[in-house]
Structure 1
Amino acid sequence: MFKHLFKLIWNKKKQNFLLMSEMFFSFLVLFAVFTLLVFYYQNYKKPMGFDYKDVWVVSYNNSLKTKNTDSVNAYYQTMRKNITAMPEVNDISFCSDNIPFSSNHWTEGVTYKKVETDGVNWFTVDANYKNTLNVKLLEGRWFEKSDVVSKYKPVLINSDLKEKLFGAEPGTGKILDRGDKGKDKVKVIGVIQSLKLGGDYAKPAIALYNLADTGSYHWLGKIMIKVSPTKANAAFEARLYKLLANYMKDSNVEIEHMVNKRTEVNYFTLVPMIVLLTVGGFLVINVALGLFGVLWYNINKRRGEIGLRRAVGATGSSVSNQLITESMILATLSLIIGTFFAIQFPLLNVFDMPAGIYLTAILLSIIFIYLLVFLCSLYPGKQAAAIYPAVALHEE
């Protein structure tokens, strides 16, 4: 039977080639769509790693004219006391500009046992960072005041960087080289859970956290404030802004809610997905209409053949199954070619994604194409089964 079907397909190879091309390109587009969907879904399932709902972000520019470090530190310590004295404030943290859900990034490489790891996100934070965001400590300890006089500068790393650098080994106590030729060494004192700083659908980036020292306040420009969910309101925000604006008279002060920043970053993350879904949807509709039309046309062109088959004893279900099987064979040939190109992505490690994401996307794309072809061939197959032999032969 299959030999006969392949012969029928070959005899109409020009017409079938166009249909196979549509299926091939549909598979590639669906593969891209499902790859993003699987990637986003796997990231979405991972925990955020910190609390953001009751955190406000204050952006400011350092307007102090003095370069004296002690004066700068005293200035910001006084501001810290004034903010924490407000009953609506639970905790605050001074940190670098690359806060969660922001577009600011500061990356640098680190070396361990002569193996360099590039693209590590560096964060400068104070000792209150952990409590402000409720960061989960997995190993070791958090920063202490005595760390400012340590032989090696203490740092914390997230679980993703720990796995990349040390595998299953503990990360605490390891010495890393930072900068050119290992001139700057840092010591890992703890490991925290990886934070999804780019939103719900973003992959947690490898990250390293170092403690803000006495000179850091010269350039720090963010304050994260953990507020009470029951007390903080618009009136408090106005009082907070007035306090900061009066204290930093020559500085541009802006207050943002981290909840809103999360919504914005999620929106921009989903834009490419929405575009791909739109393109893929139009392509799938075109393929479905094209397949449906071709099968309908084939029935009308092959009424004599179908009538002859019915006259010699073929049942309606066998005629219907023949048309459906022909369509599935065409889909299989297209998917073989499409899978060959798609499998190159995990083999070549394109976009540095896990191979499981690509393989899952390939499987979902194959199932979707088969399901689409089967559904589009059902009704034409039913119409072919309803052709009466006498009528078809009489028309022929």
Structure 2
Amino acid sequence: MLRHLLKLIWKRKSRNMMLSLEILLAFLVVFAIAAFGLRYWQLFQLPTGHGWKNQWSVSIRAAQDLPNDPILFENIKRSLRDLPEVESVAFSSFGTYEMARWSEDYVLPDGSQQLTVEGMGVSDEYFATMDMRIAQGRFFSSMDDNADAAPTVINRRLADKWFAGKNPIGQIFAVQKRDKTQGQRYRVVGVVEEFRSHGELMDPVYFMLPRWLPGVGRDAANNIMLKVKPGTPRSFETRLNARLKQIRNDWNFVITPQADARASMLKTQTIPLVILAVIASFLLVMVAFGLFGVLWQNTTQRIPEIGLRRALGADAGAIYRQIISEQFLLSSGAMLIALVLLVQLPLTGVFGEVLNWTVFFGAALLSAGVIYLLSLLCSLYPGWRAARLSPTQALHYE
């Protein structure tokens, strides 16, 4: 039976070529949507490494560069800690769930293994404020004062890349300057499993959290992170802003609960997926109309052939199955060609971890399911129409 169906498809190859091309393109688009969605789902399952439910972010907006004044930052911390809703206060270069990013090139002491590492300077209180957990070593604190290298916490990905098979605690690395000389040196004091500043849909990267101290260096912290008591209402924002204005009336403060920032970030990050889904929906509708029309026309042209089969004893169910099976074989051939092209992507690593094998196989299965369902729906009525023809009516059809 399969051999016979393949012969029928091959004899009508000129008619089926354009239909196969439409199915192939539809499969590619659905595959892209499925791959995006599965990668997002995969990323969403990974830990971000920080809390968001009881954390608030305060972004400082000043007309001029912020001064790295230790007295000023100590005043901010003490004043905010006096608020009954606030459990802890910390400072950072920027807030989580923001589009801000900071990265630099780093090397090991011997100048090898240059990597671009993303980072965020944070104060000693940051880890407790953000409900972070240490996986190895410790978080930095006042015991790191006057250290010979700036203490830093790195994520597991960076530790495994640079110090595979070694204990990362105590290891040194340094900034790689443009003239290839080494700048600021850092010492690893702790390792966290993960830290993704952009939240659940951020691709894992090499990340470091170096220690920031008020009054040390020229760069000030532009962000205040607060851990508030559970159930703190949004109306607390008014009191918080008033307290900050008492400290510096010439600054503006953008206050954002991390729950709101997270929701906004997730919405922004899923916009490309929504756009692609809309485009894919229109394409699938066009393919469905084209497929339905071609199947209708093919069925009409093959009425004498169908009548002959009915006259030779084929029942209506056999005719129905033949029409659907032919369409499934045609779809399978188009998808097989598409998969031969697509499998080159994970093999060559063009998209890196974005299109890993788990995502590839999942997207392939989902896409095949969608195309087979589309083929089935489009072939149901033409198959039913062909199956209900009587042998006499079919053989006398002109």
Same fold by TM-score, threshold 0.5 exceeded? yes
Which residue matches 2:374?
372
Change beyond 3 A, Cα 1:263–1:117: farther
- Is 2:336 the partner of 1:339? no
Aligned partner of 1:228: which letter? Answer: K
Instruction: For 1:118-267, list aligned pairs within 5 A.
Output: 118-167=115-164, 169-180=166-177, 181-213=181-213, 214-216=215-217, 218-234=219-235, 236-267=236-267
Moved over 6 A (4+): 63-67
Which residue matches 2:15?
15
Per-residue deviation at 1:103?
1.0
Per-residue deviation at 1:175?
1.9
Change beyond 3 A, Cα 1:130–1:66: closer
Deviations 1:246-287 (A, max 9, x none): 211222222222221111111111101001111111212222
Task: State the alpha-carbon separation in 1 of the partners of residues 310 and 282 from structure 2.
Answer: 38
Aligned partner of 1:210: which letter? Answer: P
Change beyond 3 A, Cα 1:5–1:96: same
Is the Cα contact below 8 Å between 1:122 and 1:208 reproduced in 2?
A: yes
Is the Cα contact below 8 Å between 2:66 and 2:222 reproduced in 1?
A: no
Aligned partner of 1:225: which letter? Answer: L
SS of match in other structure, 1:124 = coil
- Is 2:89 the partner of 1:92? yes
Please, which runs of 5 or more residues in structure 1 have no aligned partner? Answer: none
Please, which runs of 5 or more residues in structure 2 have no aligned partner? Answer: none
Per-residue deviation at 1:199?
2.8
SS of match in other structure, 2:187 = strand
Deviations 1:42-99 (A, max 9, x none): 11112332221222211224679997x7xx21222122111111211100101102x2
Per-residue deviation at 1:333?
1.7
Q: Which moved more, 1:128-137 or 1:334-343?
A: 334-343
Number of aligned residue pairs: give it: 391
TM-score, with structure 1 as normaliser: 0.91
Which residue matches 1:108?
104
Which residue matches 1:383?
385
Task: State the alpha-carbon separation in 2 of the partners of residues 115 and 2 from structure 1.
Answer: 60
Identity of aligned residues (%): 31
Change beyond 3 A, Cα 1:233–1:326: closer
SS of match in other structure, 1:253 = strand
Deviations 1:193-213 (A, max 9, x none): 313322332223321011113
Which residue matches 1:83?
80
Q: Which moved more, 1:325-334 or 1:3-12?
A: 3-12
Deviations 1:180-234 (A, max 9, x none): 3444332111111313322332223321011113325752211111112345551
SS of match in other structure, 1:59 = strand
Is the Cα contact below 8 Å between 2:140 and 2:211 reproduced in 1?
A: yes
Deviations 1:298-357 (A, max 9, x none): 222111110011112222222222222221221122112211221121122122222322
SS of match in other structure, 2:226 = strand
Is the Cα contact below 8 Å between 2:66 and 2:220 reproduced in 1?
A: no
Which residue matches 1:361?
363
Task: State the alpha-carbon separation in 2 of the partners of residues 373 and 168 from structure 1.
Answer: 52
Is the Cα contact below 8 Å between 1:95 and 1:221 reproduced in 2?
A: yes
Is the Cα contact below 8 Å between 1:175 and 1:186 reproduced in 2?
A: yes
Change beyond 3 A, Cα 1:75–1:63: farther
Task: State the alpha-carbon separation in 1 of the partners of residues 394 and 125 from structure 2.
Answer: 84
SS of match in other structure, 1:22 = helix
Instruction: For 1:67-78, list aligned pairs within 5 A.
Output: 72-78=69-75
Larger helix proportion of the pair: 1
Indicate the RMSD between aligned Cα atoms, in angstroms: 2.3
Task: State the alpha-carbon separation in 1 of the partners of residues 74 and 64 from structure 2.
Answer: 14
Is the Cα contact below 8 Å between 1:95 and 1:125 reproduced in 2?
A: yes
Q: Which moved more, 1:120-129 or 1:5-14?
A: 5-14
Task: State the alpha-carbon separation in 1 of the partners of residues 173 and 219 from structure 2.
Answer: 26
Is the Cα contact below 8 Å between 1:63 and 1:248 reproduced in 2?
A: no
Which residue matches 2:326?
326
Is the Cα contact below 8 Å between 1:162 and 1:191 reproduced in 2?
A: yes
Instruction: For 1:278-357, list aligned pairs within 5 A.
Output: 278-353=278-353, 354-357=356-359
Task: State the alpha-carbon separation in 2 of the partners of residues 290 and 307 from structure 1.
Answer: 25
Change beyond 3 A, Cα 1:169–1:283: farther
Per-residue deviation at 1:3?
4.0
Change beyond 3 A, Cα 1:245–1:304: same
Change beyond 3 A, Cα 1:118–1:358: farther
Task: State the alpha-carbon separation in 1 of the partners of residues 188 and 162 from structure 2.
Answer: 12
